Structures are given as structure tokens and as C-alpha cells.
């Protein structure tokens, strides 16, 4: 009889557990509450100007956590209880467990680590963006210098062509003048030769 009572009790507990397993929304709400409490504690304990929340700000951290939970949170259902997890670096990281209608969330140290990772990732992205911006600026400056050099070279080429045309015109003018002088001299010599012949 006792065995039967134990079996019935176990079955009743199992049915109760299966009927009171928290849903995904309950997990999210519990985690958001834990995150909000943690962010408030961090800000209060360390002073909001000197801790890992300095650059992110409370509101931004909470919003980022909410977005991450909405997009990355997954549930493992074991019928009597369930767990939630996110996939980080190729591994499933358990965030909470739910049973009897209650959600047990991760500890504060893990949350702190995850927020620090988020901050580091944000800083890295910010640094990469700044680096890309500087590279783009440098490329623009080099392109501007290149265009300036090309413009100066084109201007110099044009100046040389103009000088070459001017020198060619001067040579042509000088050649005409010399030809005219030679013609005059030849005419004068011819006249003198004619006069000599008459004498």
C-alpha cells in the first residue's frame, strides 16, 4: 500500500511539474528583472561614471539585453522542467531553469561577464569603425593629392606645349627673316655682278 501511495505521489508531483513548467515568456521576464536589478546594483555600488556600464548606459544595456533575449534565447523542454540557453562560441550557455512555475536565473558574475563581453564587442566594433573611417579619410586625401598632381602635370604639359609652339614660331620667323636677307644679298650680288659685266 505504501509503495502505491509513493507511486501515486510521484505521479501527482510529475503531473504538477509538467503542468507548471514556465513558458519562454516567463523566462524572459525573469531574466529581464534580474538584468535590471543587476544594472541598478552596478550603477549604485560603483558610481555610474566608473564601471563597465559607463559607455553603454543603463537604458542601452537593458534594451540590448532585451533584444538579445528576443532573438537568441532558445528553450530546452524536459516535460517536468525546462531550461533556456543561448549559443555562444559554438557552445550552449544555460541562462535559466524553470520548474513549479518558478524561473531560476543565472548568477550575477555570469551576467557581469556577458555584459563585459558586450561592452568589449561594442568597443571593438567602434574601434574598427573608427579605423575604417580613418582609412577612408586617408584614401580620400591620397586621391585628392593624386588629382592635384595630375592637374599640375597636365598644366605643366600644356605650358611646355605652348612654349614649344612659341619656339617653333620664332624659329619659323627667324628662318623667314634669314631667307629674306639671303634673297636680298643674292639680289645685291647679282646687281653688282651685272654692273661689273657692263664695265
pLDDT digits 0-9 by tens, 38-49: 777 766 665 544
Neighbours of 17 (CB within 10 A): 16
Measured CA to CA in angstroms, residue 80 lies from 6, 12, 196 at distances of 18, 12, 143
Domain definitions of the chain by residue range: 2-106, 130-199
Q: Per residue in 137-151, pLDDT tens?
A: 999 999 999 999 999
CA dihedral 116, 35, 30, 109 (to 10 degrees): 50
pTM of the model: 0.48
Amino acid at each position: 500500500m505504501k509503495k502505491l501511495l509513493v507511486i501515486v505521489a510521484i505521479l501527482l508531483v510529475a503531473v504538477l511539474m509538467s503542468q507548471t513548467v514556465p513558458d519562454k515568456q516567463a523566462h524572459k521576464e525573469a531574466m529581464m528583472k534580474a538584468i535590471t536589478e543587476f544594472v541598478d546594483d552596478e550603477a549604485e555600488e560603483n558610481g555610474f561614471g566608473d564601471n563597465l556600464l559607463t559607455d553603454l548606459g543603463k537604458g542601452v544595456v537593458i534594451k540590448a539585453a532585451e533584444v538579445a533575449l528576443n532573438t537568441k534565447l532558445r528553450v530546452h523542454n524536459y516535460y517536468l522542467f525546462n531550461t533556456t540557453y543561448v549559443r555562444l562560441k559554438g557552445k550552449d550557455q544555460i541562462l535559466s531553469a524553470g520548474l513549479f512555475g518558478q524561473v531560476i536565473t543565472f548568477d550575477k558574475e555570469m551576467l557581469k561577464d556577458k555584459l563585459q563581453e558586450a561592452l568589449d564587442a561594442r568597443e571593438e566594433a567602434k574601434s574598427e569603425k573608427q579605423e575604417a573611417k580613418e582609412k577612408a579619410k586617408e584614401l580620400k586625401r591620397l586621391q585628392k593629392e593624386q588629382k592635384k598632381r595630375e592637374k599640375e602635370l597636365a598644366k605643366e604639359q600644356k605650358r611646355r606645349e605652348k612654349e614649344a609652339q612659341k619656339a617653333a614660331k620664332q624659329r619659323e620667323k627667324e628662318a623667314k627673316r634669314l631667307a629674306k636677307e639671303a634673297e636680298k644679298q643674292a639680289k645685291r650680288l647679282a646687281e653688282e655682278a651685272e654692273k661689273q659685266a657692263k664695265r
